[in-house]
């Protein structure tokens, strides 16, 4: 081996890769690719990401449908729950994708990325987009079960849902990154997720209609960022169902600020804006070198 | 070693202060292109801080440093492209295969995809891991992981390879094999190696050594010159009559001999030439005699007041927590 290697080794002049935005995007793509590779290799994570939503949907949804009146003649509780479960699934997968930066740090790989001739923003953007793709892909599997929750397989509905899911995934992964920047070690990850993410899920209206809530709960729902992910998803699903106006008012009341109905587009803008904001803070925290 | 080429590393009055603590207090040195440069010192001496500045991971608070001709502050990415890094702590993604780890690295460093696969094969063959390229890193032993990291550090054809304690935590056999690969590498590639170590035998492999203590360089030379500079060989003499022998040594040569653990010890500049004269003129029966050259440990002791081994304690303590990994 020695001799052949010695003759074949030479200094390969490294061509300078493109600089500026093109280089940043290229680097982000490489980091993103690694996220996907890891996900594809990790079957357990894939399976674990499906168990919880299926429990929500078919165990909780079926069990509660006996006692919960959703105020309507032709809508099952499972149907109501479906967009909420999608949002919940995306939320947990995306947060974990973002928080995985703690593992990267603990096991050293973060350092490999931080010493490369690329910008920190690229690393974070790559992790963010990669995490969002993973979360959306997991949700697609649940989306495939729409029929079991009496949600129609309308192509338009699916495309709209996917778009909202991906946007939500991006923002929530960014939030996960920010959590990851603040969490000191792996041991603290679970408690943080329990105390931060679980309340956000419960206060988002993912699991119950937000109409007719007591004032304090309605307020908590409105200031919860996750609401701005759940509500658009529910709206997309319900706009494709054949509902009486009365049922729609109860199940898909929409969001109001002091009586003003917040437009669908504005909800998405808020979701994207919050995502950008937490991303910027996360990048800032990771850029502190000295 | 070519000295006509520009230096691989040039450090001028480099300083780093963390709040009130002066970790590095104005350090000057040059590393020649193509040499293997050992960087020794007790923990807390400022070694890791200095390396982190050279690797652009820390910003100096004073002075300047150039690596491969680029300034570590103003030309950060150029420096990064020209250096390979192997840290004390593992920085591999154990979920991925060896090849996937290398490919990731090559792409991040902008190695053109046309050469990447060839180059991957070269470096993997160099460290003897080509056959294992598609195995997950989680199945690798500590020595294999370290070899893979060395291969990765070389992938983008750096001009300077930084090895921070490349063999720490490895068993003696694995250490030896890593050094075999490193020695092969020094001859195969036109490469400057900058390494830290707590192993004296590894320091002996270096062309030149710098010893750092309390934020300053306290010695810098070839291992031979450093050993010669602290001077004297140690002669250990077992005799039938120690007192008579000590008296004779004092009378004949004017030297003080001390009794250490059942033998006489004395220090002279050139022990091997002194022994024949000693035996001829002593007049006391000698049972055994040995001559010990100064070791790098003696050198280290002279300059830092500690042995190299004593200096080895919780490695990595100077790295900001954010970058620290674990094995």
What ipTM was estimated for this complex? Answer: 0.84
Structure tokens at B9: 């590393």
CA distance B173 to B143: 9
- B291's enclosing H/E stretch is strand B286-292
- Asked if B310 and B253 sit in the same domain, the reply is no
- Does B141 map to a domain? yes
Asked whether A67 and A159 are in contact (CB, 8 A), the reply is no
* Any A CB within 8 A of B145 CB: no
Domain extent for B42: 9-221+302-314
Q: Are residues B167 and B238 in the same domain?
A: no
Q: What is the DSSP letter of A42?
A: -
Dist. CA A73–CA A243, nearest whole Å: 9
Q: Give yes or no for a contact between B241 and B271, defined as CB atoms under 8 angstroms apart.
A: no
Residue A258 DSSP class: T
CB–CB of B100 and A110 under 8 A?
no
> Does residue B144 share a domain with residue B86?
yes
**Set of chain B residues whose Cβ sits within 8 Å of the Cβ of A282:** none
* CATH number, position B17: 3.40.50.300
B107 and B181 fall within a common domain: yes
Residues in B 62-101 with any Cβ partner in A closer than 8 A: 76-78, 80-81, 85, 87, 89-96, 100
| Euclidean distance between CA atoms B254 and B278, whole angstroms | 12
Task: Provide the Cα torsion B296, B297, B301, B302; round to 10°.
Answer: -30
pLDDT in tens, chain B (327 residues): 445 678 999 999 999 999 999 999 999 999 999 999 999 998 888 998 999 999 998 999 999 999 999 999 999 999 999 999 998 889 999 999 999 999 999 999 999 988 999 999 999 998 899 999 999 999 999 989 999 999 999 999 999 999 988 888 788 888 888 888 888 888 777 789 999 988 888 898 899 999 999 999 999 999 989 988 877 788 888 888 888 888 888 888 888 887 877 888 888 888 888 888 888 888 888 888 988 888 888 888 888 877 666 665 544 444 444 444 443
Q: What is the pLDDT of residues A189-243, one digit of tens each?
A: 989 888 999 999 999 988 888 877 888 998 999 999 999 999 999 999 988 888 7
> Who's near A155: CB < 8 A, 6+ residues apart?
none
Q: Is residue B244 situated within a structural domain?
A: yes
Q: Give the nearest chain A residue to B101 (CA atoms).
A: A34
Asked if the Cβ–Cβ distance from A112 to B89 is below 8 Å, we say no
DSSP assignment string, A98-156:
HHTHHHHHHTSHHHHHHTSSS-HHHHHHHHHHHHHHHHHHHHHHHHTTGGGGT----HH
Asked whether residue B137 falls in the same domain as residue B195, the answer is yes
Q: List the single residue in B with minimal CA-CA distance to A16.
A: B110
Q: Does residue B226 form part of some domain?
A: no
Chain A positions touching B55 (Cβ under 8 A) are: 115
Residue B123 lies in a domain: yes
Q: Is B324 domain-assigned?
A: no
Q: Are residues B204 and B238 in the same domain?
A: no
Residues B215, B282 within the same domain: no
Total domains in chain B come to 2
Total CB pairs under 8 A between chain A and B: 119
Same domain (yes/no): B99, B74: yes
Whether residue A290 and residue B59 make contact (CB cut-off 8 A), yes or no, is yes
d(CA A251, CA A238): 8
* Spatial separation of the C-alpha atoms in residues B286 and B271, rounded to whole Å: 16
- Residues B240 and B307 both lie in one domain: no
User: Taking a C-beta distance cutoff of 8 angstroms, is the pair A31, A126 a contact?
Assistant: yes
Q: Is residue B325 included in any domain, yes or no?
A: no
B157: contact with A, CB 8 A cutoff: yes
Residue with tokens 């429990």: A55
DSSP state of B78: H
Per-residue confidence at A2, pLDDT binned at 50, 70, 90?
A: very low
Same domain, B135 and B283: no
- Residue B245 resides in a domain: yes
Assigned domain for B66 exists:
yes
Same domain, B50 and B196: yes
> Domain boundaries in chain A?
22-64+72-286
- Say how far apart CA B258 and CA B264 lie, in whole Å: 5
Structure tokens at A124: 């974070």
């Amino acid at each position: 081996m020695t001799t052949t290697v010695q003759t074949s080794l030479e200094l390969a002049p490294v061509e300078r890769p493109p600089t500026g935005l093109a280089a940043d995007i290229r680097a982000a793509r490489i980091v993103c690719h690694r996220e996907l590779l890891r996900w594809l290799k990790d079957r357990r994570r894939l399976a674990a990401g499906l168990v919880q939503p299926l429990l929500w949907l078919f165990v909780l949804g079926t069990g509660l449908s006996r006692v919960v009146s959703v105020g309507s003649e032709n809508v099952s509780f499972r149907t109501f729950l479906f967009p909420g479960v999608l949002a919940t699934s995306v939320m947990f997968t995306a947060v974990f994708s973002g928080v995985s930066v703690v593992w990267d740090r603990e096991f050293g790989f973060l350092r490999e990325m931080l010493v490369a001739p690329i910008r920190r923003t690229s690393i974070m953007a790559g992790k963010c987009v990669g995490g969002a793709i993973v979360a959306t892909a997991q949700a697609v599997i649940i989306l495939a079960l729409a029929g079991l929750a009496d949600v129609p397989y309308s192509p338009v509905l699916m495309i709209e849902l996917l778009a909202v899911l991906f946007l939500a995934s991006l923002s929530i992964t960014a939030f996960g990154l920010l959590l990851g920047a603040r969490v000191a070690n792996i041991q603290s990850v679970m408690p943080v997720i329990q105390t931060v993410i679980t309340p956000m899920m419960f206060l988002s209206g993912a699991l119950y209609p937000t109409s007719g809530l007591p004032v304090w709960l309605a307020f908590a729902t409105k200031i919860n960022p996750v609401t701005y992910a759940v509500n658009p998803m529910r709206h997309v699903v319900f706009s494709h169902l054949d509902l009486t106006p009365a049922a729609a008012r109860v199940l898909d009341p929409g969001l109001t600020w002091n009586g003003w109905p917040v437009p669908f587009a504005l909800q998405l803008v808020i979701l994207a804006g919050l995502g950008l904001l937490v991303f910027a803070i996360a990048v800032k925290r990771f850029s502190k070198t000295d | 070693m070519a000295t006509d080429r520009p230096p691989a590393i040039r450090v001028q009055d480099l300083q780093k202060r963390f709040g009130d603590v002066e970790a590095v207090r104005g350090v000057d040195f040059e590393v020649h292109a193509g040499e293997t440069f050992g960087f020794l010192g007790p923990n807390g001496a400022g070694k890791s801080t200095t390396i982190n500045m050279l690797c652009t991971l820390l910003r100096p608070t004073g002075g300047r440093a150039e690596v491969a001709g680029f300034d570590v502050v103003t030309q950060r990415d150029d420096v990064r492209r020209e250096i390979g890094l192997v840290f004390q702590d593992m920085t591999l993604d154990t979920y991925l295969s060896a090849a996937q780890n290398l490919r990731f690295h090559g792409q991040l460093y902008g190695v053109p995809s046309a050469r990447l696969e060839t180059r991957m094969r070269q470096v993997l063959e160099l460290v003897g891991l080509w056959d294992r390229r598609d195995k997950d890193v989680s199945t690798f032993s500590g020595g294999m992981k370290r070899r893979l990291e060395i291969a990765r550090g070389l992938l983008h054809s750096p001009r300077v390879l930084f090895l921070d304690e490349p063999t720490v935590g490895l068993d003696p056999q694995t250490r030896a094999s890593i050094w075999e690969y490193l020695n092969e590498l020094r001859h195969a590639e036109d490469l400057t190696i900058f390494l830290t170590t707590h192993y004296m035998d590894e320091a002996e492999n270096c062309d030149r050594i710098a010893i750092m203590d309390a934020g300053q360089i306290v010695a810098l030379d070839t291992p031979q010159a450093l050993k010669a500079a602290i001077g004297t060989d140690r002669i250990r003499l077992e005799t039938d009559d120690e007192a008579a022998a000590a008296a004779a040594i004092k009378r004949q040569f004017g030297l003080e001999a001390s009794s250490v653990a059942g033998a006489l010890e004395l220090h002279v500049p050139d022990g091997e030439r002194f022994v024949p004269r000693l035996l001829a003129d002593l007049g006391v029966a000698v049972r055994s005699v040995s001559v010990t050259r100064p070791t790098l440990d003696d050198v280290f002791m002279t300059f830092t007041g500690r042995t190299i081994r004593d200096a080895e304690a919780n490695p990595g303590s100077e790295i900001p927590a954010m970058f620290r990994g674990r094995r």
